[in-house]
């Protein structure tokens, strides 16, 4: 375990207090199967706030021309579960998570929700162990590329509007969203399917219906636009879709 943690710490750029790192990597499924060990949920709660403050501060200072609504959309694009999971996959964080047998057997190491939560827990651990300056440095190293990519999308951050305009331009009809939810009331996960003309073009998951719908709309937008490009049309770029 120590050697594997050294690998992860090398990728993070920080050597953390061992017990704190272990807790950050402990999913509740593992904890419950092993006698009720401490889970990473409190660290996740802390890391979510630390990440939010750092990203919000960065956006506020970097994009003084953006109104509050645009800043909120940009922040949501950076800190949503899928964006966090992508960053976590870049660290191969799933290989280090302590999972119960059930989650292990259902592909938990690659689940967006588990990866996102674990990354937030690791951020919380860095904050507790090394302070805000270290957490700030790590968040910038991991998330500045995400911020840059998201900012280039401009108005396209409102993927539902983008999809509606694209589907209208392609003569496909008005998008609709089919929502399913799972989990207890205090920790629900929402799954959305974006359907256009009776066909599902994209799905998304999130901790709210809005987040799931936005992710589904983005996936559907990319699918429909790719099909339009293959047919020889450019399709509207996401930055042109909303004022």
List the catalytic residues: 48, 120
> Quick count: other Cβ atoms within 10 Å of Cβ 57?
11
120 marked as part of a ligand binding site = yes
Cα–Cα distance list, 73 to 58, 70, 77, 103 (Å):
14, 5, 6, 32
Q: Distance between CA atoms of 66 and 76, rounded to whole angstroms?
A: 14
Q: Distance between CA atoms of 38 and 87, rounded to whole angstroms?
A: 25
Q: Distance between CA atoms of 145 and 56, rounded to whole angstroms?
A: 15
137 marked as part of a ligand binding site = no
Q: Distance between CA atoms of 221 and 161, rounded to whole angstroms?
A: 10
176 marked as part of a ligand binding site = no
Task: Indicate the SS3 state at residue 32.
Answer: helix
**CB-CB contact of 201 with 219 (8 Å):** yes
Residues 6+ apart with CB under 8 A from 169: 235, 236
Q: Distance between CA atoms of 40 and 146, rounded to whole angstroms?
A: 24
Alpha helices, DSSP H, located in the chain:
2-12, 18-24, 28-33, 41-62, 68-79, 81-90, 101-105, 112-130, 132-153, 159-169, 209-230
**CB-CB contact of 25 with 95 (8 Å):** no
Q: Which residues pair with 222 in a beta bridge?
A: none
Annotated binding site for Mg(2+): 44, 117, 120
User: Binding site: what residues are annotated?
Assistant: 44, 117, 120
């Amino acid at each position: 375990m120590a050697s594997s943690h050294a690998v992860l710490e090398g990728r993070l750029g920080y050597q953390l207090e061992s017990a704190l790192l272990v807790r950050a990597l402990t999913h509740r499924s593992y904890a419950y199967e092993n006698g009720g060990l401490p889970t990473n949920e409190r660290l996740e709660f802390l890391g979510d706030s630390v990440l939010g403050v750092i990203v919000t501060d960065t956006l506020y200072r970097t994009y003084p021309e953006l109104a509050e609504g645009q800043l909120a959309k940009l922040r949501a694009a950076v800190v949503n579960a899928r964006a966090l999971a992508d960053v976590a996959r870049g660290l191969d964080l799933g290989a280090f998570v302590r999972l119960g047998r059930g989650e292990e057997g259902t592909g938990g190491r690659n689940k967006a929700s588990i990866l996102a939560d674990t990354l937030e827990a690791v951020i919380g651990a860095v904050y507790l162990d090394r302070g805000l300056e270290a957490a700030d440095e790590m968040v910038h190293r991991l998330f500045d590329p995400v911020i840059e990519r998201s900012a280039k999308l401009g108005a396209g951050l409102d993927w539902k509007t983008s999809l509606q305009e694209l589907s209208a331009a392609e003569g496909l009809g008005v998008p609709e969203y089919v929502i399913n939810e799972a989990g207890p009331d205090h920790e629900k996960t929402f799954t959305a399917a974006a359907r256009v003309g009776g066909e599902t073009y994209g799905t998304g998951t999130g901790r709210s219906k809005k987040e799931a719908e936005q992710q589904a709309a983005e996936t559907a937008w990319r699918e429909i636009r790719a099909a339009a490009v293959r047919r020889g049309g450019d399709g509207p770029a996401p930055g042109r879709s909303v004022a």
